[in-house]
Amino acid sequence: MRTHNRQLHSGQLPGCHWLAITLVFAVLLLPITVAAEDEPVEWDESYRRVTTLEKGLAISYLLGSVSLKLVTDDYREARLKGPVGPDTAVRSALVSETEDGRNRAASISDLSIYSSQAMVAFEALYVGFVRNSPDAGTQMFWIGANALGLSLFVNTVAKYAFRRERPGDGACYDSDDPDCPTEETVSFYSGHTAAAFSAAGVLCNNAFFIDVYTSTDAWTNYIACGSTAVLAGFTGALRIAANKHYFTDVLTGAVVGAGIGFLYPWLAHYATFGDDESSVTVGAFGDPDAFGLTLFGEF
C-alpha cells in the first residue's frame, strides 16, 4: 500500500539563506531607492479605466480558487505521472541532493513569490500615497488584482484538471514501486512560477505605462521590469531545486503566467485599437473537469 508523502518544509533558515532573502527584497526595492519621485502621477485618459465588472471578476477569481482548493483532494488519482522530454536532465542539474537543501529552496521560493506579488500592491500604494495620486494608484491596484487573480484561478483549475503527480524523492523519482509514497497530484503547472511571472508582467506594464518611479530616466523603468523578471526565473529554478515540480511544469507556468501578466493589462487597459471607447475584458470559468476563457469588449 502506497502512503501519502505530505512534504513540509521548515521556515528555519541558516544565515546564508537570510542573505538570499535580503537580496530578494533589495532587487525589488532597488528602483525606488535610486529614482523615487514624489511628483503626482496623472492617469492618462487614453488608457481604459477598470470597470465594475473587472473588480467583480478579480474578487470572483480569488473566491473561486479558494473554493476549489477547499473541496478538491490534492491526492486524487493521478492522470499524469513521471518526467517527459528534458525533465530528467534539468532535474539532475538543479535539484538539491539533500532534504535540508530542498526545504530551503522551497522556503525561499515561497518568499520570492510572496514578495513579487506584494510589490504589485506596494507600487499601487506608493503611487497613491507617496506620489499623491490616489486615482492612478487605484487603477493600478485593480489592474494588478485582476491579472494575479486570473493567473491564480487558471492555475488552480489546471492543477486539478491535469492531476500530474509531483516528482518523487530519490529512487522514487519516476518509479512505480508500491513502497514509494504517493505524491500530491498538483504538479502541472507550477503555481509559484506562474504567479511570479504574472507579477513581473504587471510590474513591467506599470513601469512603462505609468512611470511609477520616474518620468525622466527610462533606465530606472528597465530596472523595475528586469529585476522582477529575473526574480520570476529564480523562483522557477527554486521549484525544481526543491523537487516540487518538473521542468515542464515550470516552463508552462512561466509561459502562462507571463502571458497573463504582460498581455492582460496591455490588452484591457493600455493598448490602443483606433477608438478611445474600445475595451477588452478577459473572463475565466471552470472546475477540475472543464475550463474556458472568454474575451469580450467593444471596438
| pLDDT tens column, 10-48 | 444 444 555 555 555 555 555 555 555 567 888 999 999
**Quick count: other Cβ atoms within 10 Å of Cβ 217?**
14
Residue 290: φ, ψ to 5°: -155, 150
> pLDDT of 244-263, one tens digit each?
999 999 999 999 999 999 99
pLDDT at 31: 56
Helix (H, G, I), strand (E, B) or coil at 166: coil
Q: How confident is the model at residue 280 (pLDDT cuts 50, 70, 90)?
A: low
Alpha carbons 252 and 188: distance in angstroms, whole number: 8
Which range is least confidently modeled, 74-78, 191-195, 266-270? 74-78
User: Quick check: 178 pLDDT over 90?
Assistant: no
Joined grid coordinates for residue 3: 502512503
pLDDT of residue 211: 78
Q: Residues 49-53: contacts with CB within 8 Å, 24+ apart?
A: 49/139, 49/269, 50/138, 50/139, 50/142, 50/143, 50/146, 50/269, 51/279, 51/281, 53/281
Query: For residue 284, what is the enclosing H or E element?
Result: strand 279-287
Work out whether the CA dihedral 81, 82, 85, 87 comes out positive or negative.
positive
CATH code of 54-67+86-298, in short, is 1.20.144
When pLDDT is cut at 50, 70 and 90, the band that residue 298 belongs to is low
Across the chain, mean pLDDT equals 83
CB atoms within 10 A of CB 294: 9
The residue-averaged pLDDT of 206-235 equals 81
What φ, ψ does residue 80 adopt, rounded to 5°? -125, 140
Which set of grid coordinates corresponds to residue 290? 472543464
State the Cα–Cα distance between residues 75 and 183, nearest whole angstrom. Answer: 7
Model confidence at 1, in pLDDT bands (50, 70, 90)? very low
The mean pLDDT value for 195-220 works out to 84
pLDDT at residue 10, as a whole number = 40
Is residue 237 within a helix (H) or strand (E), and if so which, with residue range? helix 218-241
Beta bridge partners of 164: 80
Q: Which H/E stretch holds residue 280?
A: strand 279-287
Mean pLDDT of 50-79: 94
The answer, yes or no, to whether residue 133 has pLDDT greater than 80, is: yes
172 pLDDT band, cuts 50/70/90, is confident
When comparing pLDDT for 183 and 192, which is higher? 192
What average pLDDT does range 83-88 have in this prediction?
95
pLDDT level of residue 71 (50, 70, 90 thresholds): very high
What tens digit of pLDDT does each residue of 43-63 get? 999 999 999 999 999 999 999
Residue 222: predicted pLDDT: 77
**74-83, 149-158, 169-178: lowest mean pLDDT where?**
169-178
Q: Please tell me the pTM assigned to this model.
A: 0.84
Residues in the chain: 299
